[in-house]
Each structure stands twice: as structure tokens, then as C-alpha cells.
Amino acid sequence: MQLAKEVKYLIHKEVLLEWRSKYTINGILLYVVSTIFTCYLSFVSLNEEERLTWNALFWIIMLFASINGVSKSFLQETKGQQLYSYMLASPAAVLISKTVYNTLLMLVLTTVALGFYTMVFNDYTPPDLLLYYVAVIMGSISFSTVFTMVSAIASKAGNGGMLMAILSFPIIIPVLILLIKLAKNAVDGLPWENSYDEIGMLLLVNVLTVATSLLLFPYLWRD
């Protein structure tokens, strides 16, 4: 139960820090909104048949927004801050709290982004919005589990930003393919039975990622 207490405390700390500065959430929100607006201006002549482009565009925007948002979690912390939290809590608690916090952040972000996206690209709203939202939720969870661990690796390696992109893209592509397929099912208005495969696979990939991260993180944080 010590772990649960530590995790709860650390999440509280993360949320409090974010609430005081509101830097990450506002920054990423502005980033998403301006990107969507730019996309709207350049894709304004999208045909009615191009729902596929609509879907792909959304995931590309989400991918870059989440890479920016989640990579902050470890890269932003100074060495002293990291040392302090490692003295107070177990490595598992640090990793779980970061992952949960990032998931919350991504959920807020993607929900707002989806709302704004459907508002701007009004004609393309998928017929099965609920399934699309499920895909978005799965996306937020997968992005945060993968990127949290990769950003921990990148932050330990030194030069963060570029390494983060190189290391995370090959890992996230399989997840992204599944997400785009699931979202496409929603855009095509297929019945839910057709999507159980993808949802199951995504859950499996997430469990796998979290399990390997938990096993490996204790080796990573010790210097």
C-alpha cells in the first residue's frame, strides 16, 4: 500500500505544479488549436469523399502534440528535482505517477482537440462519434505509456529533443496503425463487432509496454 500512497502523492504533486504554472496544458492546447486551424486553412477544399484524409490528419496532429506534451515529463525536470523524487519514492511509483498524470493530460488535450476538430471540419464528423472517441481515449493512453518511458530514456541520454523523436517514432508506428484502423472503422460507421480486434490489440500493447517499463525503469533511474 506504500506504493499506492506514493503514487497518489506524486500525481498530486504533478497536477499541483501544472495547475500553478498552467504552462504545459495551455501551451499544448494553443499548439493543437493553431495546428488544426492551419490545417483547415490548407485543406478547406477537401472533398466529401476524403474522410480518410480527415482521419489521418487528426492522428498526425495528435501524434506531434502528444510528443511535445508528454516528453516534457522527464526532459523538463532538473537533475536535482529528479534526485529529490527518487529519494522520496520508489522508481515504480515515479513511473506510474508520471504515466497516470500524462494520461490525464492527454485525455483533456485530445478531448478538447477532437471537439475543436469536429467543429472546424464540420462536414466530416464521423457517424459513430462514440467509437471514434473510444479510439481517441485508447490513443491518449497508448501515447502516454510509450512516450513516458521513451522520454525517460531520452532524458538520461542527454540531448533530449531529437533523440525523443528518433526513439519514439519506430515504437509508436505500430500503435498508430492500429489507432488509425480503429478510427477508420468509426468513420466508416462499421458495427462495433468489427473493432474488437483492434481494441484488444491496443490494450495488449499497452499492458506489454507498461509491464516492460516497470521492469526496466528501476535500472534506468540509478546513475
Partner 1 sequence: MNKTWWKILGSVLVIYTAIAGLLLGVPRLPILNESIRNLYFHVPMWFAMIVLFSISVFYSIKSLSSKSEIDDMKAVESVNAGIIFGLLGLVTGAIWAKYTWGQFWSFDPKQNFAAISVLLYFAYLILRNAIDEEQKRAKISAIYNIFAFPMMVVLLFVLPRLKDSLHPGNGGNPGFNSYDLDSRMRMVFYPACLGWILIGYWVYTIRFRLRLLENKQQTN
Kindly list the residues in this chain that would bind partner 1 in the complex (CB under 8 A): 149-150, 153, 156-159, 163, 166-167, 169-171, 173-174, 177-178, 181, 197-198, 201, 205, 208-209, 212-213, 216, 219-220, 223
Residue 123 DSSP one-character state = G
Nearer to partner 1 by C-beta: 108 or 165? 165
Q: How far is the CB of 143 from partner 1 (least distance, A)?
A: 14
CA–CA distance, 82 with 8 (Å, rounded to integer)? 17
Q: Phi-psi category of 13—alpha, beta or left, where left has phi over 0 and alpha has psi -120 to 50?
A: alpha
Nearer to partner 1, 150 or 187 (CB): 150
Residue 170 C-beta: closest distance to partner 1, Å: 4
- Smallest gap from residue 201 Cβ to partner 1 (A): 7
Question: How many Å separate Cα 205 from the centre of its chain?
Answer: 14
Q: Find where cell 499497452 sits.
A: 206
Which residue lies nearer to partner 1 by CB, 36 or 150?
150
Residue 79: count other Cβ atoms within 10 Å of its Cβ: 9
Q: Least distance from C-beta 220 to partner 1, angstroms?
A: 5
Nearer to partner 1, 21 or 194 (CB): 194
Q: What is the dihedral of CA 112, 116, 119, 124, to 10 degrees?
A: -90
